[in-house]
Structure 1
């Protein structure tokens, strides 16, 4: 396994960006898949960046016996959307970054069935937002995701400049594809979905609400809950459950001789 830190110029954002990539050992990749390696795009939450999963979880150790590549980008505080202030983070992550990664690693799979996306909190929203509005990802996972903004009026009122800068007015948000409630009614594709949220998490009601809507809309959703709050202690554990859920050659360490 190799960990590569890459700096590239984003034509979309017109600035240099950083992305971390975990690349599987050749011995873990069967000859038949060496030009078709599966990829997981792993997204950070608010206050994080491309280093968050490396610093706060055991993701390197967890995938060292797998055939999976991991791509960890940053969207700053941009919520993985094209903001009203002109920073097109959605386009940079959903459209530009996969091409950038393929330029660096041409043997990573371009097939949707071997491309996956996951994230926590803001990144959980980003994973669903990107997967539902494209046909590039076959699986999307959210951990404590900000999957619905219902009941978030207090946060919006506390910092209206930030939220309006992201989404525009409430009316504009509700009618846009940034609103998952609207997007799931006419998605670009129907990826398999996974969601986890802790019972004591302030986003638990939002996850309950969106899970019911996704199931009613006919999505293949695996929804799991347990005691837990909005913190890395739980996400670092739950990412292993995501890896088990994905259709990859993943072997838990305790099973190894």
Structure 2
């Protein structure tokens, strides 16, 4: 397995962008002939960057027995959307980044059924925003994701510079493509399979319960799980393994020491 630090110039953002890539073990893929390697785009949260999953989750160890490639981009505090201040993080992550990655790693699959996206907190929102805002990903997963902003209007009002810079006013945000349930209701293509987990003591838990209920009523294939837990890496580092088990890959669970 190789860990690759990729820095490239993003035409969309007008700046250099950092991405970490985990490339599968040579014993799991034929680097010369295989052109169908599955890939998971793994998104960080508000306080993170391209290194967060590597440092905090043990993702390298977890995927070393698979043929899965992992792509971990940095998006600062951009929420993976095309912001009102002109930084088009959605376009850069959803459309430009896969093209860049395939240019550097042509062995990675272009097939929708072998492209997946997941994230935590802000990255959980980003995974659903991209997964339901395109038809590029067949499996979409969120851990403690900001899947709804219902009940959070005060945050828009109290910090209008930040939230308004991302989404515009509350009135502009409601009913826009940046609202997950609006996307889910208007999605007309082949629906991705969805996964969501949230800790029951997390302040985002009520919102996850609300969105999960609505998604199921809309007929989405959603695996929704909860357990005691807060908004912490202690839980995300465990639940990323549940996502790997849920994905259509050959995943070998390591034995844990008792």
Per-residue deviation, 1:154: 3.4
Q: State how many pairs are aligned.
A: 255
Moved over 6 A (4+): 30-33
Residue ranges of structure 2 left out of the alignment (5+ in a row): none
Partner residue in 1 for 2:239: 238
Q: Do the aligned partners of residues 31 and 74 (structure 1) sit closer, same or farther apart at CA in structure 2, a change above 3 Å counting? A: closer
Q: Mapping of 1:1-257 within 5 angstroms?
A: 1-29=1-29, 34-187=34-187, 188-254=189-255
**Mapped contact 1:20–1:73 kept (Cα < 8 A):** yes
Residue ranges of structure 1 left out of the alignment (5+ in a row): none
d(CA) in 2 for partners of 1:208 and 1:33? 45
Per-residue deviation, 1:31: 8.7
In the superposition, the TM-score normalised over structure 2's length comes to: 0.96
**Mapped contact 1:44–1:123 kept (Cα < 8 A):** yes
**Mapped contact 1:133–1:189 kept (Cα < 8 A):** no
**Mapped contact 1:134–1:189 kept (Cα < 8 A):** no
Report the aligned-residue RMSD: 1.5
Q: Deviations over 1:197-249 (max 9, x none)?
A: 00000000000000011001110000000000001100001000000000001
d(CA) in 2 for partners of 1:203 and 1:173? 19
Per-residue deviation, 1:190: 1.1
Per-residue deviation, 1:29: 2.4
d(CA) in 2 for partners of 1:235 and 1:138? 22
Per-residue deviation, 1:174: 1.0
In the superposition, the TM-score normalised over structure 1's length comes to: 0.96
**Mapped contact 2:153–2:170 kept (Cα < 8 A):** no
d(CA) in 1 for partners of 2:196 and 2:15? 33
Per-residue deviation, 1:253: 1.5
2:46 aligned counterpart, secondary structure: coil
d(CA) in 2 for partners of 1:157 and 1:169? 8
Q: Deviations over 1:170-206 (max 9, x none)?
A: 1111121001121111114410000000000000000
**Mapped contact 2:156–2:170 kept (Cα < 8 A):** no
Per-residue deviation, 1:158: 2.9
2:208 aligned counterpart, secondary structure: helix
Per-residue deviation, 1:153: 2.6
**Mapped contact 2:120–2:144 kept (Cα < 8 A):** yes
d(CA) in 2 for partners of 1:142 and 1:228? 15
2:53 aligned counterpart, secondary structure: helix
1:19 aligned counterpart, secondary structure: strand
